[in-house]
Structure 1
Amino acid sequence: MNKKIIVWAICAIGFISCKNSEKLSDTEITTRYFNMLDTSDYSQIPVLLADSLQTQEGDYTSSYSHEDYEELLKWDAVFDPTYEVLDVVQQDNGMVKAEVSKLDTRIQFLYEKPFISNYYLSVVDGKVSKVVTEYVDFDAETFGNNRTKLLTFINDNHPELNDFLQDQTEAGGQKYLKALELYKNQPRFEIGKDLLLMHFDCKTDVDDLQAAAGLLTLMTSPNFMHVNYHAVAGTYGIQEGLYVPPNTLFKLAFDTNWTDAHERMEAAAEEVAQLATVTLEAEGDIWIAEAGQSDFSAQLVKALQKKLPQLETKKRIHIVQHSDWNEEVTTPELLDFVKKNTDYNKIPDGNTVGNGTPGFRTPGYTEWKEEVMDSKLKSVWELAVELSNQYNGKDGRYNNEAVAENGLDFSDLSEVCWMLKLEDIKDTNEFFERYAR
Structure 2
Amino acid sequence: MKNIFFILFFAVILTSCGNQKLSHKKTVNSYYKAFDSGEFNKIKEVIHDSITLISGDFVMPFDKKSFHEFYKWDSVFEPSYEIIELVKEDDDVIATITQKNIRNKFLKNNPLKLNVKISFVSGKITKVEELDYIDVNWNTWAQRRDSLVSFVKVNHPELDGFVNDMTMPGAMRYLKAIELYEGRE
Q: TM-score of the superposition, structure 2-length normalised? A: 0.93
Partners of 1:181 and 1:6 lie apart in 2 by: 68
Matches within 5 A, 1:310-329: none
Alignment correspondent of 1:46 = 44
Match among 75, 78, 81 for residue 80 of structure 1: 78
User: What are the ranges of 5 or more consecutive residues in structure 1 without an aligned counterpart?
Assistant: 188-437
Deviation at 1:13, TM superposition (A): 2.3
Partners of 1:140 and 1:81 lie apart in 2 by: 20
RMSD: 1.5
> Which has the greater radius of gyration?
1
**Which runs of structure 1 show a deviation greater than 6 angstroms over 4 or more consecutive aligned residues?**
none
Deviation at 1:4, TM superposition (A): 4.1
Q: Which amino acid aligns with 1:50?
A: H
Partners of 1:170 and 1:11 lie apart in 2 by: 50
SS of residue paired to 1:165: helix
Match among 182, 185, 193 for residue 183 of structure 2: 185
Structure in which a larger fraction of residues adopt strand:
2
Render the CA deviation track for 1:64-94: whole Å, top value 9, x for unaligned. Answer: 00001011001100111000000000014x2
How many residue pairs are counted as aligned between the two chains?
A: 184
Deviation at 1:102, TM superposition (A): 0.4
Q: Does 1:119 align with 2:116?
A: yes
Partners of 1:71 and 1:85 lie apart in 2 by: 23
Matches within 5 A, 1:57-72: 57-72=55-70
Match among 127, 131, 136 for residue 130 of structure 1: 127
Match among 52, 55, 61 for residue 53 of structure 2: 55
Deviation at 1:7, TM superposition (A): 3.7
Bigger mean CA deviation after superposition, 74-83 or 145-154: 145-154
Partners of 1:22 and 1:96 lie apart in 2 by: 19
User: What are the ranges of 5 or more consecutive residues in structure 2 without an aligned counterpart?
Assistant: none
Larger relative contact order, structure 1 or 2 (CA cutoff 8 Å, min sep 6): 2
Render the CA deviation track for 1:131-159: whole Å, top value 9, x for unaligned. Answer: 11132232111101111111111111100
Deviation at 1:11, TM superposition (A): 2.2
Q: TM-score of the superposition, structure 1-length normalised? A: 0.41
Matches within 5 A, 1:91-130: 91-92=89-90, 94-130=91-127
